[in-house]
């Protein structure tokens, strides 16, 4: 059994095996099953929030996602706020020693206990499991009888594109075992900006999801950014919009940085300028300014900006972006057919 236990104290990391026979105080345990890039970003964001809010209370009222919940769920949450407690224990599951070491390094600055496992030890003790493995590994992961047994009756939050709630429910079902407790399955899609708590996360939760579970899920994802609850019908295109487009934006920043370097700006300065300019534009739009209004405000008659915009239009930037996005949507939809 190859198990890693990490504890941070006084700003330094120390690694030691889990002590056998010790039973932690009962509280909500969150496990990330398949802790790659997205799972690591998510954990980093959650732990950063806990670091900034060491006395986190049970209230969800300060989080911006609450108005996005269905009205019926919102009413239940308002009436049951006192029953909510954020996760206090965390575990991460990886497949290799190298992944365990990478994850331990990524989490080294946070003063929160995190157990990192290379096998399925203690997965059954988790209350909430975030499924964050590679989409191609879904069949192998949930096809494992030990995993299915550990997940029985638990809350499963899937971050896998194209994996519907119905699909996941069918994979977890054991037809011959009528005593098996049903799972609460929720779909979510965050992005790698989770690590800096700027993710745009979408959530699909069945109408039957208990209010305390909805509150916990909302806490998890509002701690790493902004949340929007959506129906299954809208989930695939929203997955591409939230999870794929940051790569598009990074390409824009990279291209502008390269161009600025060719115009004799230092690369480090150019990259910061381009990224901050993009961030500022996003803040204007989030504040209510229409994108066309932002563009028109900058484009003065006979100025340099309008000349650059005309060149972009001539090169088909709109249609190219639209086609790239729709290719992403098509790929996600195809995943749901497999």
Please tell me the predicted confidence (pLDDT) of residue 112.
86
Please tell me the predicted confidence (pLDDT) of residue 256.
98
Please tell me the predicted confidence (pLDDT) of residue 176.
64
Distance CA 218, CA 303 (A): 46
User: 329: burial class by Cβ within 10 Å (0-12, 13-18, 19+)?
Assistant: middle
Edge-to-edge strand list for the sheet holding 3-9: 12-16, 3-9, 114-117, 89-93, 29-33, 128-131, 155-158, 184-189, 199-204, 225-229
Distance CA 110, CA 314 (A): 49
Distance CA 232, CA 165 (A): 9
Please tell me the predicted confidence (pLDDT) of residue 27.
80
pLDDT in tens, the chain (338 residues): 233 433 322 233 333 333 344 444 458 899 999 999 999 999 999 999 998 876 654 333 333 333 344 433 333 344 444 456 788 899 999 989 999 999 999 999 998 889 999 888 899 999 999 999 999 899 889 988 889 989 999 999 999 999 999 999 999 886 666 556 678 999 999 999 999 999 999 999 999 999 999 999 999 999 999 999 999 999 999 999 999 999 999 999 999 999 999 999 999 999 999 999 999 999 999 999 999 999 999 999 999 999 999 999 999 999 999 999 999 999 999 988 86
Please tell me the predicted confidence (pLDDT) of residue 6.
38
Please tell me the predicted confidence (pLDDT) of residue 337.
80
Contacts made by residues 206-214, CB under 8 angstroms, sequence distance 24+? 206/165, 207/70, 207/72, 207/73, 209/73, 209/184, 210/184, 211/73, 211/76, 211/77, 211/79, 211/80, 212/80, 212/83, 212/84, 213/155, 213/184, 213/186, 214/69, 214/73, 214/76, 214/77
32, containing H or E segment: strand 29-33
Cα-based distances in Å from 182 to 76, 85, 169, 232, 324: 22, 23, 9, 20, 39
Domains of the chain from N-terminus onward: 3-230 (3.40.50.720), 237-335 (1.10.3730.10)
313, containing H or E segment: helix 304-314
């Amino acid at each position: 059994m190859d198990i890693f236990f990490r504890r941070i104290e006084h700003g330094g990391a120390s690694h030691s095996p889990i002590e056998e026979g010790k039973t932690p105080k009962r509280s909500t345990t969150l496990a990330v099953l398949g802790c790659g890039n997205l799972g690591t970003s998510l954990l980093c964001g959650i732990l950063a929030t806990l670091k900034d809010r060491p006395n986190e209370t049970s209230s969800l009222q300060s989080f911006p996602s609450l108005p996005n919940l269905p009205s019926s769920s919102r009413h239940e949450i308002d009436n049951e706020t006192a029953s909510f407690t954020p996760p206090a224990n965390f575990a991460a599951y990886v497949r290799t020693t190298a992944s365990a070491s990478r994850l331990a390094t990524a989490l080294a600055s946070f003063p929160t206990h995190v157990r990192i496992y290379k096998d399925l030890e203690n997965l059954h003790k988790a209350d909430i499991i975030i499924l964050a493995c590679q989409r191609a590994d879904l069949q192998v992961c949930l096809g494992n009888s030990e995993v299915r047994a550990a997940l029985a009756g638990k809350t499963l939050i899937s971050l896998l594109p194209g994996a519907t709630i119905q699909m996941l429910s069918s994979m977890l079902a054991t037809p011959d075992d009528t005593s098996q407790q049903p799972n609460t399955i929720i779909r979510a899609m965050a992005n790698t900006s989770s690590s800096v708590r700027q993710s745009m996360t979408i959530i699909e939760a069945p109408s039957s999801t208990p209010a305390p579970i909805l509150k916990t899920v909302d806490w998890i994802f509002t701690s790493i950014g902004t949340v929007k609850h959506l129906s299954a019908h809208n989930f695939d295109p929203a997955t591409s919009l939230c999870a794929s487009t940051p790569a598009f934006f990074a390409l824009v920043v990279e291209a502008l940085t390269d161009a600025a370097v060719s115009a004799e700006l230092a690369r480090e300065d150019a990259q910061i300028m381009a990224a901050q300019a993009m961030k500022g534009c996003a803040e204007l739009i989030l504040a209510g300014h229409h994108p066309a209004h932002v563009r028109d405000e900058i484009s003065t008659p006979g100025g340099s900006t309008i000349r650059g915009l005309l060149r972009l239009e001539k090169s088909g930037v709109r249609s190219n972006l639209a086609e790239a996005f729709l290719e992403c949507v098509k790929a996600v939809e195809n995943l749901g057919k497999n």
